[in-house]
A and B are shown apart, each in its own frame.
Chain A
Amino acid sequence: MKIILIFIFNIFQFSYLHANEESINNENLDEKEKIYINEFSEINNMSENYGRLILVRKHNLYGRNGISQKFITHQRKLKKWINNWENYIKNIEIKNINDIYSFSTQLQDFLSMQSIESEKLKIALNQIINNSENSLMTIKNSNDYNKKSLSEFTYYLNQIDISQNSLKNSISMYKNNSIHYLRQIDKINTMGHKSILSKIIIELSKIRSENPNKTLHEFYILINASKELNPLISKLEINERKMEEHISKYQYFSALHLSERNLVSCSKTHTELRNKFIKININNYTYNLNRIKEICSKSYDTFIRFKRKHKKIYDYTLNLIQYINKNILINCNEYINIIHCNELSIINSIKYEEFTKFNEKETSFIEYKMNRIYEEFKK
């Protein structure tokens, strides 16, 4: 059946073409010339337009590191994070007044673990939002095509529209859901902390305590402090690992910005933590305070050592380019990698002497672009 249809299609095409040629005569050559070139232009625009659709769909949406995959992974982790809250709260048990201090240590560990996890979830969500925005921009950069000039393909034009809208809408939905989840994470964080206190009240009510209100107040201070300070501490801990990563890859500007951010949050965290520490006088916080000091000074020292390594900033960038070229898997025969391959081609072909002339903005831009390529294609 299909063969017959193809056969009919071919006959139709032949007769259409034949009819087209028949209509050309010496009088209408100029007019026909315009019509055909216009059609040629429009078909090329349509091709580019659809080419972008394929690229965004295949690479940005369904690719190995695509939005869809990232979102699914993220959602699984988010559910796990929420389940952790639920299970932990449900299972809080204080059988004896002597258990309180061991419980508080365990509680702090849990809260700090959840806090680190929530920071990681937020980073992943921000990546999805960025990828979605870049994908929508890639679609937006298409050349429009004039549907009137291609009216003989109306059926396909409509189908293309449907697919294109579906692509844009889906990516927008991923983006909006991610924004929604970001808010949801903050909300759950607050709720989780609150419900832990509720559960402690319930548990304390079951045992006899000499001064339940004092104990409760101490827990209240602890939970509140955790809620406020843990995100800061978690960020610092994540940043510590990040700093090592940046240094190992010669990501000068990433390391520089991180170091600047760390200096600010270190002093902020330190001050706030010390204030809470004085108020609540719980020994366990000394551990955290020491840890913060350690993270902050270590991170700063590491960066200063890294900064002394090379005199010129472009030396870091050249090393970074070399590192990333060695550690990515990118197939530039695949048209879906065109954007990154083009960017990589330009960066790789910049002459050494040009690098020496670059200002900080330009060098930093190159590093930013290389980092993005690395994120997408790392081995």
Chain B
Amino acid sequence: MKKLYFYFFSMLFFYNQAFSLNLCTDGYIDYRRPAIPFVPFRISDTESGKLLSPDDIMTALDRNGKKYSVKAKDFYEQINSIEFSLNQWGYSLRDSTGSYNLSSLDSCLKLLENQKSIINKNLIQEPVNEVLNYEDWKKKVKSLSDEQNKNYPQFKDLIKHRDANKYDEYISNVKAFDVPRPLLKKVNMSLFEKEKNWVFEKGEISKFFIGGSAGYGVKASQLEVASTAYAGIDAALLGLWHGSVVSAVAKANSPGTGIGHLNISANVFGSTLFAFSEELKSSAYAKETDLFNSPLNFEKSTHFLLGPIPIKLTLGIRGNNTMKWGLDSRPLQMQSYLQHYASIDAYGAAAVDILIAGVGVQGRILLIAIDTRVAANALVEYNDTLYFKLNIIGKTDVNALYGDLKVVVYTYLPTLKFWNGFLEKKEWFKRLGEYPGFKFSGSLFDYSATLTPTGFSAKGDLSVEDVADQLNINKNLNRKETIISLARSTSKRSRETVRAIEKDLEGEENILLLNEEKLLSENEVAMMIFFDDFERTLKEIDYIAEYL
């Protein structure tokens, strides 16, 4: 019997077209050609070419190239059904080309050219983006607090013992360091708060999607300092799954008197991994907590159409994920730190339940590699007078969504040059995702502010809301009117201040001051002469005595 070479076919189970179509074909471009006529393969022996009856047993090669026996009827039913499907798309198993792209994600086509170089660049850590690691940060905090405590006790240690209401009675008449000029509304020292949030979203939920977020909120009042920090990653895989990969929230408060509190919770895939609630009984509290330091693994399966061919696809994400939370709290001051490292891949595994066709997944997509650090401190400080100080800093390094993931179905088919006796591998593939990558390095937020009884100053990410109360800006105005109002108030404030300073500069006391150095020098010269005269007189007496 002539050797039969042709004979490989994929048989596909789990044909659930409606389900997979709904989930996985949105946004794909199908390279469908005009249909071609269906010419079925004849049931024949692959060795001899001799016609076989449907129940004859024949030998075929499986997807790994190994021989196995199968009923001719079953084999040709599968191969002809695939041939029929491909013919409807304008392709045929008889085509001589080895590989066909049946579809790809439309949003990625234009980015294909850049793909390679971007992957090569990958995770370059630039020194400019370097932020302190947790240990260095702790050292910095310690050295600062040591320095503060060197001259212990200090007034800022005393302020936590006072009765705030009583204090206000005493202090109400006292103005802060300020140029004497018409004052604007006196700043209310009762509460000072700021919140900063950062959100990052890339990709499409129906395909691959990744989102990161980090935030920090701190508030300080004469009685208490509190902070909240959170960070998290959301992801979506081809619409199979969308949700929170990891998240963590930490809250702490540090009152001037009484007991502080610390609450931390961390979740992975929606379930609580770590929860911590503690009363901060001692007046100074420092803690470092590993919220999690664990590999991530998550899988989800679906039925998937590769062009016209249904397969079972399992997609998953895996990677390493570490989150740390550090806190240094003292009465009326707090410094805290949240650091998140994650590197998460999406991977796929595909399967068909017959031996003759193989399905594979090639490449990978890096969903995210992230290093985010947010730190804040808030404190009530005594620097001759009462101050509130806030600092919020957030830095990140993100590399997301780059790489290439495709599902391939392959089988061995005769070349049609069967006189050579060669088998040829044929494959059909579908790109699940092909992304040039998204890269972000640098500052998420950077805000520092100081509030004194009559003044406010800040640097960094500022908004009109920060000063609206002090400048009496009407909150019902539209955005443009608000900015105009801000411009007017600032300009008025500047003019009043500069006029007051000008008046003082022209005042008698300042003129006296400008002459002070000269007068002091003259006085010093006179004193030197006085000392010298005295010295000379005594030396004359000493001289006479020595002579005697």
- A contacts, CB < 8 Å to B: 13, 16-17, 20-21, 24-26, 29, 32-34, 36-48, 50-52, 54-55, 57-58, 61-62, 75, 79, 82, 85-86, 89-90, 138, 141-143, 150, 153, 156, 159-160, 162-163, 166-167, 169-170, 173-174, 177, 184, 188, 191-192, 194-195, 197-199, 201-202, 205, 332-333, 335, 337-339, 341-351, 354, 358, 361-362, 365-366, 369
Contacts and interface: CB of A to CB of B under 8 A. Distances in A.
B502 interface: yes
A192 B483 contact: no
A373 B165 CA distance: 23
B196 to A, nearest CB: 15
Q: Is the interface of B mostly helix, strand, loop or mixed?
A: helix
Contact of A29 (B152, B456, B480, B497): B480
Contacts of A16: 491
A44 B484 contact: no
Contacts of B537: 86, 89-90
B300 interface: no
17 contacts: A32-B483, A33-B464, A40-B471, A45-B457, A46-B497, A47-B179, A55-B177, A61-B513, A90-B537, A143-B457, A166-B514, A177-B520, A202-B548, A332-B173, A339-B384, A341-B170, A349-B170
A82 B529 CA distance: 13
Nearest to B452: A48
Interface stretch (B100-108, B154-162, B236-244): B154-162
Interface string B460-501: 001110110001000000011001101111110111011001
B451 to A, nearest CB: 10
B490 A338 contact: no
Contact of B464 (A37, A335, A346): A37
Nearest to B462: A37
Given A141-B383, A345-B167, A347-B158, A21 B484 contact: yes
A35 B513 CA distance: 35
Contacts of A26: 480
B501 A160 contact: yes
Contacts of B178: 47-48, 51, 335
Contact of B545 (A24, A191, A201): A201
B171 interface: yes
A283 to B, nearest CB: 27
A17 B491 contact: yes
A341 B174 contact: yes
Contacts of B383: 141
Contacts of A46: 497, 501
B487 A153 contact: no
Contacts of B164: 349
Contacts of A350: 158, 161-163
B544 interface: yes
Given A346-B162, A366-B158, A170 B385 contact: no
Interface of B: 152-155, 157-159, 161-164, 166-167, 169-171, 173-181, 382-386, 450, 452, 455-459, 462-464, 466-467, 471, 479-480, 483-484, 486-491, 493-495, 497-498, 501-502, 504-505, 509-510, 512-514, 516-517, 520-521, 523-524, 527, 530-531, 534-535, 537-538, 541-542, 544-546, 548
B509 A58 contact: yes
Contacts of B175: 335, 338
Given A82-B530, A199-B545, 5 more contacts: A51-B178, A61-B516, A173-B520, A184-B531, A198-B542
A280 B160 CA distance: 61
A156 B501 contact: yes
A365 B504 contact: no
Nearest to A41: B457
A42 B455 CA distance: 10
B544 A40 contact: no
Contacts of A332: 170, 173-174
A115 to B, nearest CB: 18
Contacts of A85: 534, 538
Contacts of A349: 162-164, 166-167, 169-170
B174 A335 contact: yes
Nearest to B170: A345
Contact of B548 (A39, A205, A346): A205
A303 to B, nearest CB: 24
A204 B517 CA distance: 48
A55 B504 CA distance: 12
Contacts of A202: 541, 544-545, 548
Contacts of A163: 505, 510, 513-514
A42 B166 CA distance: 32
Contacts of B542: 194-195, 198
Contact of B484 (A24, A47, A335): A24
A43 B493 contact: yes
Given A198-B544, A201-B548, A166 B480 contact: no
Given A33-B463, A37-B467, A166 B177 contact: no
Contacts of B530: 79, 82
B458 A344 contact: no
Given A170-B517, A173-B517, A350-B161, A44 B456 contact: yes
A52 B385 CA distance: 11
B531 A338 contact: no
Nearest to A184: B531
Contact of B505 (A156, A170, A348, A362): A156
Contacts of B180: 54, 335
B529 to A, nearest CB: 12
Contacts of A173: 517, 520-521, 524
Contacts of A43: 490, 493-494, 497
Contact of A33 (B486, B488, B527, B535): B486
A170 B167 CA distance: 36
A29 B159 contact: no
A177 B491 contact: no
Nearest to A21: B484
